[in-house]
């Protein structure tokens, strides 16, 4: 008791740092070398053919910013990612609310939604690829059968349709994550408040916005951030569905980096794209932290 | 109910059932109910359609795969894709490797992640915000670039083709998100709960273990699931950091088997994918009781 | 219940980890015993070719008991990435299985052995096109394993339906007219299934179209000549077929093969591997064989037929310490009459050596196989040996797609030309 009363002991002050040690060991050791190496590469003219660290300063970045393709790629990435995340959020929220209730077959539905997340990514991309095929894909068939479309839609061969297809696939694949996280968050809403509000005569919509949202708000924002960060990394799905085409309309930063590195063999150039990506997301994360820690530590 | 709260403070006593909410809605707005249910059905069916299509493909003979309109969906059921699946397509070892690595990653991440999340959530110290953002940086740099340095590092440290090596690689990239997710759930627990435990003489660690964790089990489980799936689904690291069949994981393994130079073996690919995914789905359905329907003291309000 | 579950999970995990352990690859430090030759390839991986590869290994090790061949799995789609990574990491396999234009990036990295000393006396036996694919400045950096000449396939019934003889048109003008006529048959019919995906492979398949219109990629001195009347005409044709539904859009390679096998397409550019694929995908087995024909590419404006190939090649890495033994295996696989017959019987693989092609095994052949052998002389697998060629093909793919979507051929040709020249440093 006396120890408590006198304020923080040495162990107490060191504790927060001590708690971080396991995480730093796991994450730091493996990450530091590749990450630092990767960032350094962006300032060199390193290629597979001439693997030397010849320092060229910011020349990679200069030529990058002058390249119109880079800006198109950046715009694509932002468009695709944010559209997909919005869809993921909408669908995930809807599913979480629905499957949290006692509707029949909810176990089966939940299982099905899990399945989407658990199946291998390559298989998911391939299945969509054949469903979206303009000639013998089932999607076009259904659209025409239902009378919604008159001719075959070239999902993967035209710029706008290709973007829409990719957003669809991202949204499909990422919704289960939102659902699971929001479901877990819904459990934290205390029933006493809900009951009290019902007694006070609040209707369903009011309850949703005034009571539920504050509880799940932080989780939702976190999920959006995490989803954006992950979506930036996707190479597989783009490669299988459109390979960045048509022309450059679905080339994202990740695909661009991959092509620069493994097709163009320009490691330095690829790394510079990576650094711009890092900065972009870093800024986003800082904003997120501001947003979330605004009211922290207030009694 | 344990603990403090008056009605205005977010407490954490009971679970609240959405069904309650729905029931009231139905009673008041009868018309809405049907629209609601219909929308549910449409949503779920549309979402699950690709999976149904997968099943269909796994049961279709090769030459009817891409014929429209889909023919003989029920007539030509071809079980060749499933019969003798595991003896024909030797993925048992891949399965084992994936499970071992995934479990290892989950344990590592949940352990170190929980501690780190507690640190970020409950303490205020210099560099905290910076550290938080830096932890995300693992995910903010293209993996294609990191993979080469990682490969060389692994050769030098002889971690290539080992479970430990893969666990370490997966943990490095899954850990940041684990920390952030768990921290978010920790944040939803009011400090007052801990303060009172503190005053009663509990140490920090005990508070963490006996008070904070039980209340956020759903969140920790959700994080664990995320990590498991991150590791389970990983393709890039498995492809590059293992070069022998003995150590290969599922995702690169099945890719190699079914995506050939000239043809994709759709039927086998789908039947294998379905067969390896279903056990995990069953496991999750079993686990979901713990994070969807709750574990804490206090009955589920009907 | 909860506690039991938790304990069970932990036990399971612990168990799994126990069995896991660090089962690392032992360093290759065996003193005596057979010499180990490692080969990276996708053939031992694939269901269709795995048994054959194991059999070849068995027969080889019986004939050469002092050499032990070890296969290293390398998936086809990731072969370049995996090879680059393993070379950078300092542990490439002794033999690397690749396709025609893959090796040149590795050559620029100094990672490939010159095979001329071992094959010098056999050069005449290799068809000209296949040989040119592996030659760079007097060095033989790759040897062909099997012929992968790209030829034109045509569905006989569609040709008949538009009143044309059931064979591939002789020159490009007739070819284009046939494509137009077949597309007009119905909305579901397409004259030609072009490779329209944004893939360097698709760009490569555009080359015969360029040649057929009198265009080229680079001239004899290696200068890029992409902006030429011939190429502009080729792009104009692509614009025509893209905007008037003479070709299906947005398909990856396996899908265009599917479409062709279903019979609604007039022509397809592909290789001898289509024989088993057609049988499989049409559902008719060998019954599909008489329904299509094949021939080398039609003649261009200069009266020559010029094509491309996608031969499988084998290279030996420079870091290999067992080059002699590696070459022994290469010669065994690609030149031993029994083995090449076996390979042909299993996979339809055509041997790359003219002396072998004369064997009785290859006397009664489908049009497709015969066309592949015939076209081997005039098809080049690597029109440019520059390591930046893959990146150049990316630009061509983008240009090709722009044309298909209705872009202006002159503008596209100029832009692509500029981009490639900048890439090549010209």
With CB atoms and an 8 Å threshold, state whether B12 touches A190: yes
User: Are C286 and C279 within 8 A, CB to CB?
Assistant: yes
With CB atoms and an 8 Å threshold, state whether B155 touches C90: yes
Q: According to CATH, what is the number of the domain C35-147+312-351?
A: 3.40.190.10
Predicted pLDDT at C68 = 93
pLDDT digits (tens, 9 = 90+) for C25-76: 333 344 457 899 999 999 988 877 888 999 999 999 999 999 999 998 888 8
Q: Which residues 266-285 of B are in CB contact (within 8 Å) with A?
A: 266, 269-270, 273, 277-278, 280-282, 284-285
For the segment A136-140, the average pLDDT, to the nearest whole number, is: 90
Predicted pLDDT at C25 = 36
Predicted pLDDT at A132 = 93
User: Are C209 and C238 within 8 A, CB to CB?
Assistant: yes
Residue at A133 is within a domain: yes
Residue at A14 is within a domain: no
With CB atoms and an 8 Å threshold, state whether A38 touches B141: yes
Mutation target for A interface from B4, B42, B50: give the one with most A CBs within 10 A. B50
Q: According to CATH, what is the number of the domain C151-309+384-424?
A: 3.40.190.10
Contacts of C258 in chain B (CB under 8 A): 65-66
Compute how many other C-beta atoms are within 10 angstroms of the C-beta atom of residue A263. Answer: 19
In the predicted structure, residue C408 carries a pLDDT above the cut 90: yes
Collapse the DSSP code of B256 into the 3-class scheme (helix H, G, I; strand E, B; otherwise coil) and give the result. helix
pLDDT band per the 50, 70, 90 thresholds, residue A28: confident
What end-to-end distance do the CA atoms of chain C give, in Å?
Answer: 73
Matching residue, tokens 């983008």: C398
Predicted pLDDT at A50 = 81
Predicted pLDDT at A101 = 66
Residue at A24 is within a domain: no
Q: Which helix (H) or strand (E) holds C402?
A: helix C389-404
From A129's Cα to the closest Cα of chain C, the distance in A is 9
**By percentage, how much of chain C surpasses pLDDT 70?**
92
pLDDT digits (tens, 9 = 90+) for B182-214: 888 888 777 787 777 777 777 766 766 777 777
Contacts of A246 in chain C (CB under 8 A): 198, 250, 401-402, 404-405
**Domains, in order of start, for chain B:** 89-291 (1.10.3720.10)
**How far is the C-alpha of B86 from the C-alpha of B271, rounded, in Å?**
11
**By percentage, how much of chain B surpasses pLDDT 90?**
11
Indicate the range of B39-48, C37-46, C129-138, C258-267 predicted with least confidence: B39-48
**How far is the C-alpha of A93 from the C-alpha of A100, rounded, in Å?**
11
With CB atoms and an 8 Å threshold, state whether C391 touches A263: yes
* Angle (CA) B29 B32 B36, round 5°: 140
Matching CATH topology for C35-147+312-351 and C151-309+384-424? Answer: yes
**How far is the C-alpha of C129 from the C-alpha of C377, rounded, in Å?**
5
Q: Which residues contact B178 (CB under 8 A, 6 or more apart)?
A: B109, B110, B113, B117, B223, B226, B227
> pTM for the whole thing?
0.86
**By percentage, how much of chain A surpasses pLDDT 90?**
36
Predicted pLDDT at B257 = 78
Q: Which residues contact C344 (CB under 8 A, 6 or more apart)?
A: C350, C351, C361, C362
Predicted pLDDT at C314 = 95
Q: Positive or negative CA dihedral for C36, C39, C44, C49?
A: negative
Instruction: Give me the CATH number covering residue A199.
Output: 1.10.3720.10
In the predicted structure, residue A4 carries a pLDDT above the cut 60: no
Q: Which residues contact C287 (CB under 8 A, 6 or more apart)?
A: none
**Which among A123, A192, A233 has the least Cβ separation from residue B13?**
A192
Residue of A nearest to B20 (CA): A101
**How far is the C-alpha of C310 from the C-alpha of C39, rounded, in Å?**
20
Contacts of A17 in chain B (CB under 8 A): 119, 125
pLDDT band per the 50, 70, 90 thresholds, residue B301: very low
User: Are A73 and A139 within 8 A, CB to CB?
Assistant: no
What's the structural domain count of chain A? Answer: 1
| C245 Rama sector, left if φ>0, alpha if ψ -120 to 50, beta otherwise | left
Name the more confident of B22 and C309: C309
**Chains that contact C by 3+ CB pairs under 8 Å?**
A, B
Q: What are the C-alpha distances in Å from C416 to residues A281, C217, C402?
A: 33, 11, 11
Q: Look at residues A108, A154, A160, A107 and name the one whose alpha carbon lies nearest to residue A132.
A: A154
**Chains that contact B by 3+ CB pairs under 8 Å?**
A, C
Predicted pLDDT at C298 = 94
pLDDT band per the 50, 70, 90 thresholds, residue B8: very low
Residue at A201 is within a domain: yes
**By percentage, how much of chain A surpasses pLDDT 70?**
90
In the predicted structure, residue A225 carries a pLDDT above the cut 50: yes
Q: Say how far residue B14 (Cα) sits from the centre of its chain.
A: 26
Name the more confident of B249 and B24: B249
**Which among B50, B278, B284 has the least Cβ separation from residue A128?**
B50
pLDDT band per the 50, 70, 90 thresholds, residue B10: very low
> B106 exposed, middle or buried (CB, 10 Å; 0-12, 13-18, 19+)?
buried
**How far is the C-alpha of C344 from the C-alpha of C364, rounded, in Å?**
13
Pairing of strands C151-155, C292-295: antiparallel
From A159's Cα to the closest Cα of chain B, the distance in A is 23
Q: Which residues 231-290 of B are in CB contact (within 8 Å) with C?
A: 239-240, 243-248, 252, 255-265, 268, 290
The token duo for C145 is 């394993």
Contacts of B50 in chain A (CB under 8 A): 116, 124, 127-128, 131, 172
**Which among C13, C46, C91 has the least Cβ separation from residue B260?**
C46
Predicted pLDDT at A32 = 85
pLDDT band per the 50, 70, 90 thresholds, residue B2: very low
DSSP string across C201-224: HHHHTTHHHHHHTT--SB-TTS-B
Compute how many other C-beta atoms are within 10 angstroms of the C-beta atom of residue B83. Answer: 10
**Which among A136, A243, A263 has the least Cβ separation from residue C390?**
A263
Residue at A236 is within a domain: yes
Q: State chain A's mean pLDDT as an integer.
A: 85
- Domain residue extents for chain C: 35-147+312-351, 151-309+384-424
DSSP string across chain A: -HHHHT---HHHHHHHHHHHHHHIIIIIHHHHHHHHHHHHHTTB---SSS----B-TTHHHHHHHH-HHHHHHHHHHHHHHHHHHHHHHHHHHHHHHHHHS--TTHHHHHHHHHHHHHS-HHHHHHHHHHHS-TTT-HHHHHHHHTTS-SS---TTTSHHHHHHHHHHHHHHHHHHHHHHHHHHHHTTS-HHHHHHHHHTT--HHHHIIIIIHHHHHHHHHHHHHHHHHHHHT--HHHHHHTTT-STTTT--HHHHHHHHHHTS--HHHHHHHHHHHHHHHHHHHHHHHHHHSTTTT--
User: Are C282 and C261 within 8 A, CB to CB?
Assistant: yes
Predicted pLDDT at C10 = 62
pLDDT digits (tens, 9 = 90+) for C66-99: 999 999 888 888 888 889 888 888 889 999 999 9
* Angle (CA) B50 B54 B55, round 5°: 120
Contacts of B294 in chain A (CB under 8 A): 187
The token duo for C348 is 């339809």
């Amino acid at each position: 008791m006396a120890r408590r009363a006198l304020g923080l002991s040495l162990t107490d002050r060191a504790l927060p740092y001590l708690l971080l040690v396991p995480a730093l060991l796991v994450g730091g050791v493996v990450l530091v070398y590749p990450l630092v190496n990767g960032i350094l590469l962006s300032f060199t003219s390193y290629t597979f053919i001439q693997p030397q660290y010849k320092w060229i300063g910011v020349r990679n970045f200069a030529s990058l910013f002058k390249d119109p393709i880079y800006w198109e790629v950046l715009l694509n990435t932002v468009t695709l990612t944010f559209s997909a995340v919005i869809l993921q959020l909408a669908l995930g929220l809807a599913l979480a609310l629905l499957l949290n209730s006692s509707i029949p077959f909810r176990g089966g539905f939940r299982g099905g939604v899990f399945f989407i997340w658990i199946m291998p990514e390559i298989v998911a991309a391939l299945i969509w690829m054949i469903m979206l095929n303009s000639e013998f894909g089932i999607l076009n068939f259904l659209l025409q059968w239902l009378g919604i479309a008159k001719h075959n839609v070239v999902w993967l061969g035209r710029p706008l349709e290709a973007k829409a297809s990719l957003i669809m696939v991202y949204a499909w694949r990422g919704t289960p994550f939102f659902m699971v996280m929001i479901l877990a968050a819904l459990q934290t809403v205390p029933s006493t408040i809900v009951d009290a509000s019902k007694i006070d005569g609040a209707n369903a919509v009011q309850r949703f916005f005034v009571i539920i949202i504050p509880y799940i708000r932080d989780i939702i924002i976190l999920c959006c951030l995490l989803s954006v960060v992950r979506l930036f990394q996707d190479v597989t799905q783009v490669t299988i569905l459109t390979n960045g085409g048509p022309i450059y309309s679905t080339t994202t930063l990740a695909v661009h980096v991959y092509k620069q590195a493994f097709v163009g063999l320009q490691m330095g150039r690829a790394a510079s794209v990576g650094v711009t990506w890092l900065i972009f997301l870093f800024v986003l994360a800082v904003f997120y932290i501001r947003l979330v820690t605004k009211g922290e530590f207030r009694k | 109910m344990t603990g403090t709260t008056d009605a205005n403070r977010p407490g954490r006593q009971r679970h609240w059932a959405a069904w309650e909410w729905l029931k009231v809605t139905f009673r008041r707005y009868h018309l809405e109910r049907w629209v609601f249910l219909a929308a549910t059905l449409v949503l779920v069916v549309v979402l699950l359609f690709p999976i149904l299509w997968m099943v269909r493909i796994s049961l279709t003979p090769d030459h009817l795969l891409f014929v429209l309109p889909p023919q003989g969906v029920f007539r030509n059921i071809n079980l060749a894709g499933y019969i003798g699946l595991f003896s024909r397509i030797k993925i048992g070892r891949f399965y084992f490797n994936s499970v071992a690595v995934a479990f290892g990653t989950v344990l590592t991440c949940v352990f170190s992640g929980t501690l780190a999340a507690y640190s970020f959530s409950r303490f205020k110290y210099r560099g905290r915000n910076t550290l938080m953002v830096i932890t995300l940086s693992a995910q903010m740099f293209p993996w294609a670039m990191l993979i080469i340095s990682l490969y060389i590092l692994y050769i030098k440290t002889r971690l290539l083709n080992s479970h430990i090596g893969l666990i370490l690689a997966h943990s490095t990239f899954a850990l940041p998100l684990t920390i952030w997710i768990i921290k978010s759930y920790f944040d939803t627990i009011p400090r007052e709960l801990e303060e009172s435990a503190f005053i009663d003489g509990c140490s920090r660690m005990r508070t963490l273990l006996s008070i904070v964790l039980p209340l956020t089990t759903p969140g920790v489980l959700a994080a664990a699931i995320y990590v498991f799936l991150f590791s389970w689904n990983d393709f890039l690291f498995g492809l590059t950091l293992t070069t022998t069949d003995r150590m290969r994981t599922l995702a690169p393994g099945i890719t190699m088997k079914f995506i050939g130079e000239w043809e994709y073996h759709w039927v086998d690919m789908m039947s294998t994918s379905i067969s390896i995914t279903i056990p995990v789905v069953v496991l999750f359905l079993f686990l979901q009781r713990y994070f969807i329907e709750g574990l804490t003291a206090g009955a589920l309000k009907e | 219940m909860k506690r039991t579950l938790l304990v069970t999970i932990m036990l399971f995990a612990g168990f799994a980890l126990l069995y896991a352990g660090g089962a690392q690859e032992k360093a290759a430090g065996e003193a005596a015993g057979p010499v180990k030759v490692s080969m990276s390839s996708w053939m031992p991986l694939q269901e269709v070719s795995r048994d054959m590869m194991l059999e070849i290994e068995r027969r080889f090790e019986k004939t050469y008991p002092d050499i032990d061949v070890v296969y290293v799995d390398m998936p086809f789609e990731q072969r370049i990435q995996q090879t680059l990574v393993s070379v950078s990491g300092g542990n490439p396999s002794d033999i690397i299985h690749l396709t025609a234009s893959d090796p040149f990036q590795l050559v620029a990295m100094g990672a490939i052995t010159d095979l001329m000393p071992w094959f010098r006396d056999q050069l005449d036996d290799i068809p000209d096109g296949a040989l040119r694919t592996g030659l760079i400045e007097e060095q033989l950096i790759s040897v062909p394993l099997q012929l992968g000449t790209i030829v034109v396939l045509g569905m006989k019934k569609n040709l008949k339906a538009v009143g044309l003889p059931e064979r591939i048109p002789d020159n490009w003008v007739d070819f284009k007219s046939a494509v137009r006529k077949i597309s007009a048959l119905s909305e579901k019919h397409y004259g030609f299934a072009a490779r329209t995906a944004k893939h360097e492979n698709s760009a490569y398949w555009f080359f015969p179209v360029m040649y057929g219109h009198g265009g080229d990629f680079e001239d004899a001195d290696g200068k890029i000549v992409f902006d030429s009347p011939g190429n502009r005409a080729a792009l104009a044709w692509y614009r025509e077929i893209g905007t008037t539904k003479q070709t299906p859009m947005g398909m990856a390679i396996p899908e265009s093969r599917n479409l062709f096998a279903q019979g609604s397409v007039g022509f397809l550019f592909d290789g001898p591997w289509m024989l088993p694929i057609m049988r499989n995908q049409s559902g008719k087995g060998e019954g599909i064989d008489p329904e299509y024909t094949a021939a080398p590419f039609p003649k261009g404006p200069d009266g020559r037929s010029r094509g491309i190939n996608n031969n499988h090649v084998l290279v030996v890495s420079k870091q290999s310490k067992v080059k002699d033994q590696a070459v022994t295996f290469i010669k065994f696989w690609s030149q031993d009459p029994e083995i090449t017959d076996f390979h042909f019987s299993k996979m339809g693989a055509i041997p790359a050596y003219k002396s072998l092609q004369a064997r009785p095994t290859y006397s009664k052949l489908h049009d497709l196989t015969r066309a592949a052998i015939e076209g081997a002389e005039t098809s080049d697998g690597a029109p440019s040996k520059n390591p930046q060629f893959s990146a150049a093909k990316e630009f061509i793919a983008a240009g090709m797609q722009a044309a298909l979507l209705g872009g202006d051929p002159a503008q596209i040709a100029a832009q692509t030309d500029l981009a490639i020249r900048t890439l090549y440093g010209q």
